[in-house]
Amino acid sequence: MDRLVKSQQINNKHLQYEGKCGIFVNMSTVVTNIRLDRELKNEATELFNDLGLTLSQAFTVFLKQSLLHHGLPFAVTRPPSKELLAAIDEGEKLAHDPNAKTYSTPQELWDELGI
């Protein structure tokens, strides 16, 4: 048997001991339905199975980490815009261009700009 599973009743709470992982899982569960892209689910299931987790356990870990972090447990950002990437590229080129005009003080720049 791959997994040792023992059910115990402690203080009227049902716990399941997962011997392989060495963790206690609260068995007071609810069924939740979510919709996923089939391929995403299959790939995630394979990944988590390789890590010794079921998809349900992985979601539980995600939710517990979200509660600990008071939000998502990772940064959610949008990719930089084309304009920002172009500006970064232009800045990099200027920083390495020995012929680029430079200013010794902010006032020199402001004077040239007429500010």
Place of tokens 């899982």: 25
Centroid of chain to Cα 16? 28
For residue 28, the model assigns a pLDDT of 80
Reported as type and span, the H/E element at residue 99 is none
Which pair of tokens denotes residue 88?
């970064």
Q: What is the pTM of this model?
A: 0.50
Going residue by residue through the chain, which has 115 residues, state the pLDDT in tens, using 9 for 90 and above: 444 444 434 443 444 444 445 555 556 888 899 999 999 999 999 999 999 999 999 999 999 999 999 999 999 999 999 999 999 999 999 999 999 988 999 999 999 999 9
The strand pairing partners of 17, in sequence order, are 6, 24
Q: Which residue has the tokens 């200027």?
A: 94
